[in-house]
């Protein structure tokens, strides 16, 4: 029985694959069929940021989706795989411009 190599994932698959990889660059690269160096090069070329910054943006975008879906700040932090709620709040404010609580208040 022959094994076929898995096809590389398309950029449309990247947010899901990043989440499955826990937003870790090495695991993400492996999931989408690239080496870490290839991933870094592609992301720098197309998005002008590091792979780490790109993955963090995907992570925060997922958290925003969760907050918009009605999750609490703690639930959104856990589901978007932040180690602590404090780390989540710090990164959320850095990228979104307001804290997660402020985001929810403005949404209401």
Contact 92, 73 (CB under 8 A): no
The ranges assigned to domains in the chain are 11-107
Encode pLDDT of 74-103 as tens digits: 999 999 999 999 999 999 999 999 999 999
Contact 79, 69 (CB under 8 A): no
- This model's pTM is above 0.85: yes
Question: Residue 10: its pLDDT value, please?
Answer: 83
Class of domain 11-107: mainly alpha
CA 103 to chain centre: 18
Mean pLDDT of all residues belonging to the chain: 92
Separation of alpha carbons 64 and 81, rounded Å: 13
Encode pLDDT of 23-55 as tens digits: 999 999 999 999 999 999 999 999 999 999 999
Q: Which residues contact 49 (CB under 8 A, 6 or more apart)?
A: 43, 57
């Amino acid at each position: 029985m022959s094994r076929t190599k898995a096809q590389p994932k398309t950029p449309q698959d990247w947010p899901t694959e990043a989440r499955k990889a826990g937003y870790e660059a090495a695991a993400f690269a492996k999931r989408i069929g690239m080496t870490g160096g290839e991933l870094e090069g592609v992301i720098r070329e197309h998005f002008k940021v590091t792979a780490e910054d790109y993955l963090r943006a995907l992570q925060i975008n997922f958290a925003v989706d969760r907050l918009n879906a009605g999750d609490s700040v703690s639930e959104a932090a856990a589901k978007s795989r932040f180690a602590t709620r404090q780390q989540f709040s710090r990164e959320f404010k850095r990228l979104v411009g307001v804290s997660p609580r402020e985001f929810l208040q403005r949404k209401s």
